[in-house]
Chain A
Amino acid sequence: MSEDFVNKMADLKEEEVLALTKKRLAAGEDPNKILADNTAAMAIVGKRFAGGEYFLPELVFSGELLKEVMALVTPHLKESSAKTKKLGKVVIGTVAGDIHDIGLNIVEFMLDVNGFEVTNLGVDVPVEKFVKAVHDINPPVLGLSGFLTPAFDAMKETVEALEKAGLRKNLKIMIGGGQMDDEVRKYAKADAYGKDAMAAVTLSKQWIGAK
């Protein structure tokens, strides 16, 4: 692992990181090592975000930076690149009637850098799509996002549909976003309300049993 590279990336030094990436690739370094450094750097970004040192702008920019590095590295990757072991599966999505995705994407990012295998169903997800995803993917954790007050009912309907489909028993459901709080959690019969993206990580770890 190149400590210098990881730190520069975590500090969001765009030009230096891109120059270093090119240099490492030109020197014939194993691109998988760069990928491992990416992961390490993103974990630091995630930590700084959770600690209140980084905010949305840093998170978004780190994502941009990652994309740029990946664009350089991908042509050099062989198919056999080692897959890292994931902690567990989490399915997330913004409920029906709501197209807000900023919070949803932060949660995806934070879960991903903390080692979860995330399936992001996107926005305005109909109840049936959640049911199908939970049925097909069988995740231990489902995250419902919503920004507006109509999402209260959409969340409730989603949870009820999962109950009806017999998929609720081994599933933990967390909710978050805009006007959500613990009152809504009770109303929608979810298991927990998380006030920010880090809460989604903490809850998932707690439920999946990872430390």
Chain B
Amino acid sequence: MEKKWTELTPDEKREQRFRRWLSPPGVTFASPQAEKLYKERVTRFSKAFTLQKPDRVPCILPSMGLYAAYYAGTNLATVMYDFDEMKRAWRKVLHEFDADTFVPPVLVPPGPSLDAVDYKLYKWPGHGLTRSTLSYQAVEGEYMKADEYDALIRDPSDFWLRTYLPRVFGALKGFTQLPSWTSFEEIVTGNFLPFANPEVQAGFNAMAKAGMESLKWIAAVGEISAEALAMGFPGVMSALAKAPFDTLGDTLRGTQGIMTDIFRQPEKVHAAMERIAPIAINNALSSVAMAAAPIVMMPLHKGADSFMSVKQYETFYWPTFKKVVMAFVNEGIVPVLFAEGSYNKRLDIIGDFPKGTVAWYFDQTDIFEAKKKIGNRCCIMGNVPSSLIMTGTPQQVKEHCRKLIEVCGQGGGYVLAGGANVDEGNPENMRAMMEAAKEYGKY
């Protein structure tokens, strides 16, 4: 008799999820060859993630972020608003690069939606940045004040709705006047009144417009995703999740704020992170449920070597981060932990996960040292330097990859990848990475 999902062990859950990834429901492959390649690629990643030896080292090209815009001779400002151009650019990368995976334009935000709500947390080309800029960038700020911890901890959703959203979305400033949703109880009398307020209505209208604009965007993204799958390219990330410290430090309090809070109100920082952790977990779990790949990408930010001491990392960053990661592991999902910056001083701490359950994706960390210290427990990914990809020759890139594969590839559990995504640069350097994986990566 088949066991219920909740009765399965984490390993059994992962096996089931991997099986679904291998034969995704609803996908019609373009040809038997495409299906064969798809299965080979998924198997390659699945084995590397679980510390086994695949047929060869899998490779994720650093061109999987916003690079397609540059490659197709357009730019981010254009593709954020012109979804036909977006499709053309991503299709060009899809057809012209040999790769193990493909990331559809999910990282291209829908410009008209952001405009509709007057998004202030980010600047993008043509909106705070010159049109030719190839990326969007977050605007550091105190979107939650130092004395608002109690409000956040008491009811995070309410805090988000009535305090945070009005600060980051100009069009939602009327939401400060919304009633608490939980005030609707029993017979309702005056509770509707705030919704008669024109500012509140303007907020809902803006959200509705953003939603309608996003429908056009998702149609375009979905079209490219489906094409990529049909051609045999699996996705390798289905959801994003953040470490609670980063949610607090990046999204809410800002660097200045969080660093000060560590000294002035450490217990509130801890309490807030405990409150944020289950929210991060549930958001990612619901995204994964809708996609084929059982993988959550966690871009990590303020836990890097240069941001805090080892002791601060152990005290403030690690505990709730580990809790989030373990929730994914226990659900049979592979967390890919992207360690932006350098993690050289964290290597004695970050391997503390069940063997073969998580992948550490390194940017500037000494990856050979990482392989030595945590390579027997965690999959290692990375880390061809962006500078080499941007300024080096294909030969130099290939040679660098050869060394990475020789050392990190030993015994399996390695994925060749860039240190970070690049937004421009010589396409031949990407192709050199793929060549290296095929030429030197065979087991």
Contact = CB atoms under 8 A, between A and B. Distances in A.
A61 B419 CA distance: 31
Nearest to B308: A55
Nearest to B67: A149
A183 B392 contact: yes
B307 A148 contact: no
Contact of B137 (A59, A60, A99, A183): A99
A101 B137 CA distance: 12
B312 A148 contact: no
Contact of B309 (A55, A60, A148): A55
A117 interface: no
Contact of A149 (B128, B132, B137, B425): B425
Interface residues of B, number: 37
A64 B306 CA distance: 19
Nearest to B133: A97
A56 B385 CA distance: 25
A55 B307 contact: yes
Instruction: Determine chain A's interface SS by DSSP, over half rule.
Output: loop
B376 interface: no
Interface in A40-80: 54-57, 59-61, 64
B142 to A, nearest CB: 13
B255 A55 contact: no
Nearest to A180: B387
A177 B57 CA distance: 31
A150 B308 contact: no
B259 A56 contact: yes
B420 A60 contact: no
A207 interface: no
B306 A196 contact: yes
B260 A181 contact: no
B308 A149 contact: no
Contact of B255 (A14, A96, A102, A184): A102
A179 B255 CA distance: 19
A152 interface: yes
Instruction: Determine chain B's interface SS by DSSP, over half rule.
Output: loop
Given A149-B422, A152-B390, A61 B263 contact: yes
Given A179-B387, A181-B385, A149 B264 contact: no
Contact of B260 (A55, A64, A152, A187): A64
B140 interface: yes
**A57, A97, A99 — most chain B CB neighbours (10 Å):** A57
B307 A149 contact: no
A148 B387 contact: no
B359 interface: no
B208 interface: no
Contacts, number: 89
Interface string A179-196: 111011011000000001
B141 to A, nearest CB: 11
Contact of A179 (B133, B134, B256, B419): B419
B16 interface: no
Contacts of B341: 178
Nearest to B62: A149
A160 interface: no
B331 interface: no
A114 B309 CA distance: 22
A56 B130 contact: no
A14 B265 CA distance: 12
Contacts of B137: 98-100, 148
A148 B140 contact: no
Contacts of B420: 149, 179
A178 B385 CA distance: 11
A12 B133 CA distance: 40
Interface in B125-178: 128-130, 132-135, 137, 139-140
Given A56-B259, A150-B135, A101 B140 contact: yes
B388 interface: yes
A153 B340 CA distance: 21
Interface in B405-438: 419-420, 422-425
A56 B258 CA distance: 11
Nearest to B263: A61
Given A57-B312, A149-B424, A102 B387 contact: no
B373 interface: no
Interface string A76-117: 000000000000000000001111111000000000000000
A180 B134 CA distance: 17
Contacts of A57: 259, 262-263, 308-309, 312
A56 B307 contact: yes
Given A55-B308, A180-B387, A183-B392, 12 more contacts: A12-B263, A54-B309, A55-B312, A59-B259, A97-B129, A97-B130, A148-B135, A149-B424, A153-B424, A179-B385, A183-B388, A183-B391
- A-B pairs with lowest CB-CB distance, top 10: A60-B259, A183-B387, A57-B259, A97-B133, A187-B391, A179-B386, A55-B309, A184-B387, A61-B263, A99-B137
Interface of A: 12, 14, 54-57, 59-61, 64, 96-102, 124, 148-150, 152-153, 178-181, 183-184, 186-187, 196
17 contacts: A55-B306, A55-B307, A57-B263, A57-B309, A60-B259, A61-B259, A64-B260, A99-B128, A99-B129, A99-B139, A100-B137, A148-B135, A149-B386, A149-B423, A150-B135, A184-B387, A184-B391
